[in-house]
């Protein structure tokens, strides 16, 4: 099975795609916070202050009593309320946690804004933006389960204030929930469609077979309106797929676009071997425009590439057709 996946330059993709380019480190709200760990303490030489030294390779490692695969949390507390816009976490060891949440304190309890269970296989950084409350006095990064071969650990945290975060242009930046019909057997993780890297793909579970079907569903934290869906397919565009939204009243999926092997030229752009599909209101969709509001978007791959499994590399869901971001430009594919 693996040899099929590598029939194009994919062997390199698997290696290169994980090395995400991290942004520079900066001074932020983390610098005015008090840091605590639960349980308290840390491994000698890996103190909490390593999380805010603007050196991504210097790590905090939890107290080892939590055990390999165990959980621990780090809390940032402010003397006065702050407006958090974005939390960036730099996981700089190869031991990504298996499950973590990003929470804020509402005065009486922790509220979870992001719940991540689908981390990349190797070191990465994660931006968690939008969806935070107008003000809070504490933020918690809660590692529920660390890597099965290691302890809770990460390298750096930077926290932007809300005023520093640009307006929301891609609804995929909300704290969305991702589901695939081949969960939990995906060959590569679902969050890879959110990393703005066209070299990293979600790949379905392999049991569907080459050319097989799979669905990929996005659930938004509240009902949203969008005008454009842009899917980056990489080397392996499917033979047939549909872009669908969930109709709560009818309890059914609405098909907005049904694409087969020979798509209309307006819907596909080709750069060497690279394709993206663009589905927009008033464009050339085979079905109705996107609804006024919906909570779910589904990419329904009916027949994947004859050479590969259901997979794609990026998904963008754009609310404002006048503010379409530039297409992701790395079409060289490493
Ligand atoms: Ca910093
Ligand atoms: Ca550090
Ligand atoms: Ca990607």
Query: In Å, how far are 113, 173, 200, 308 from 24, measured between CA atoms?
Result: 24, 20, 21, 36
pLDDT at 111: 94
pLDDT at 53: 95
Nearest to 233 by CA among 148, 331, 318, 167: 331
Determine the distance separating the centroid of ligand 1 and the alpha carbon of 35, expressed in angstroms: 13
Determine the distance separating the centroid of ligand 3 and the alpha carbon of 79, expressed in angstroms: 38
Residues 179-215 have pLDDT tens digits of 999 999 999 999 999 988 888 999 999 999 999 999 9
Of 71-80, 110-119, 186-195, which one has max mean pLDDT?
A: 71-80
Contact indicator for 308, 4 with CB cutoff of 8 Å: yes
Give mean pLDDT, residues 11-28. 49
Determine the distance separating the centroid of ligand 1 and the alpha carbon of 126, expressed in angstroms: 14
Q: How confident is the model at residue 24 (pLDDT cuts 50, 70, 90)?
A: low
Residues with CB under 5 A from ligand 2 (ion): 50, 53, 55, 58, 155-156
pLDDT at 45: 96
Determine the distance separating the centroid of ligand 3 and the alpha carbon of 190, expressed in angstroms: 9
Determine the distance separating the centroid of ligand 2 and the alpha carbon of 186, expressed in angstroms: 32
For the chain, what percent of residues have pLDDT higher than 90? 56
Determine the distance separating the centroid of ligand 3 and the alpha carbon of 135, expressed in angstroms: 32
Give mean pLDDT, residues 85-107. 94
Contact indicator for 299, 216 with CB cutoff of 8 Å: yes
Q: Which two tokens stand for residue 296?
A: 């779910």
Determine the distance separating the centroid of ligand 2 and the alpha carbon of 117, expressed in angstroms: 23
Give mean pLDDT, residues 30-48. 97
pLDDT at 130: 82
Determine the distance separating the centroid of ligand 1 and the alpha carbon of 56, expressed in angstroms: 9
Determine the distance separating the centroid of ligand 2 and the alpha carbon of 93, expressed in angstroms: 11
Q: Is CATH 2.40.30.10 what the domain over 170-318 is classified as, yes or no? A: no
Residues 135-172 have pLDDT tens digits of 999 999 999 999 999 999 999 999 999 999 888 889 99
Q: Where are the beta strands (DSSP E) in 58-155?
A: 60-61, 72-82, 84-91, 99-105, 110-116, 124-129, 136-145, 153-154
Of 31-35, 161-165, 325-329, which one has max mean pLDDT?
A: 31-35
Q: Which two tokens stand for residue 95?
A: 């031991």
* Higher-confidence position of 253 and 4: 253
Across all residues in the chain, what is the average pLDDT? Answer: 85
Contact indicator for 73, 142 with CB cutoff of 8 Å: yes
Determine the distance separating the centroid of ligand 2 and the alpha carbon of 118, expressed in angstroms: 23
pLDDT at 271: 45
Determine the distance separating the centroid of ligand 2 and the alpha carbon of 38, expressed in angstroms: 19
Determine the distance separating the centroid of ligand 2 and the alpha carbon of 52, expressed in angstroms: 6
Q: Cα–Cα distance between 133 and 206 in angstroms, integer?
A: 40
Residue 306 CB: number of other CB atoms within 10 A?
11
Task: Starting from the CA of residue 93, give the closest ligand.
Answer: 2
Give mean pLDDT, residues 224-240. 86
The set of residues, in sequence order, having a beta carbon less than 8 Å from that of 278 and lying 6+ positions away, is 228, 229, 230, 266, 267, 268, 269
Kindly list the domain boundaries of the chain, sorted by start residue: 29-164, 170-318
Question: Is the pLDDT score of 5 beyond 50?
Answer: no
Task: Starting from the CA of residue 155, give the closest ligand.
Answer: 2
Residues 256-297 have pLDDT tens digits of 988 886 544 445 555 434 456 666 655 677 888 888 889 999
Determine the distance separating the centroid of ligand 1 and the alpha carbon of 3, expressed in angstroms: 43
Q: How confident is the model at residue 12 (pLDDT cuts 50, 70, 90)?
A: very low
pLDDT at 265: 47
Contact indicator for 216, 327 with CB cutoff of 8 Å: no
Q: How confident is the model at residue 17 (pLDDT cuts 50, 70, 90)?
A: very low
Nearest to 135 by CA among 74, 176, 80, 75: 80
Contact indicator for 65, 146 with CB cutoff of 8 Å: no
Question: Is the pLDDT score of 16 beyond 60?
Answer: no
Question: Is the pLDDT score of 221 beyond 70?
Answer: yes
Q: Which CATH architecture does the domain made up of 29-164 adopt?
A: Sandwich (2.60)
Nearest to 203 by CA among 124, 99, 121, 322: 121
Q: Cα–Cα distance between 313 and 308 in angstroms, integer?
A: 14
Residue 278 forms beta bridges with which residues?
230
Contact indicator for 175, 130 with CB cutoff of 8 Å: yes
Radius of gyration of the chain (CA): 21
Determine the distance separating the centroid of ligand 1 and the alpha carbon of 193, expressed in angstroms: 27
């Amino acid at each position: 099975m693996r040899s099929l996946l590598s029939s194009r330059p994919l062997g390199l993709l698997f290696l290169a795609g994980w090395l995400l380019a991290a942004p520079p480190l900066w001074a932020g709200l983390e610098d005015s916070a008090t840091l605590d760990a639960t349980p308290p303490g840390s491994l000698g030489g890996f103190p909490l202050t390593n999380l805010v030294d603007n050196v991504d390779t210097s790590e905090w490692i939890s107290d080892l009593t939590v055990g390999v695969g165990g959980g621990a949390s780090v809390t940032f507390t402010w003397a006065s309320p702050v407006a958090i816009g974005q939390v960036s976490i730099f996981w700089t060891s190869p031991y990504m946690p298996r499950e973590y949440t990003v929470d804020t304190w509402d005065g009486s309890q922790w509220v979870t804004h992001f719940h991540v269970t689908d981390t990349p296989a190797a070191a990465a950084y994660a931006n968690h933006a939008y969806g935070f409350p107008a003000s809070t006095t504490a933020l918690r990064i809660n590692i529920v389960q660390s890597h099965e071969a290691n302890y809770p650990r990460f390298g750096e945290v930077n926290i932007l204030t809300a005023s520093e975060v640009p307006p929301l242009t891609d609804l995929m930046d909300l704290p969305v929930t991702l589901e695939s019909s081949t969960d939990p057997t995906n060959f590569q993780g679902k969050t890879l469609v959110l990393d703005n890297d066209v070299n990293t793909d979600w790949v379905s579970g392999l049991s569907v077979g080459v050319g097989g079907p799979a669905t990929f569903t996005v659930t938004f934290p509240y009902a949203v309106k969008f005008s454009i869906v842009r899917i980056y397919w990489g080397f392996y565009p499917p033979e047939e797929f549909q872009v669908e939204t969930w109709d709560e009243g009818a309890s059914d999926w609405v098909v907005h676009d049904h694409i087969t092997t020979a798509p209309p030229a307006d819907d596909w752009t080709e750069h060497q071997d690279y394709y993206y599909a663009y589905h927009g209101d008033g464009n050339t969709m085979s079905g109705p425009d996107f609804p006024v509001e919906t909570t779910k978007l589904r990419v329904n791959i009916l027949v994947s590439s004859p050479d590969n499994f259901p997979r794609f590399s990026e998904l963008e869901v754009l609310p404002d057709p006048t503010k379409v971001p530039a297409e992701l430009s790395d079409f060289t594919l490493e």
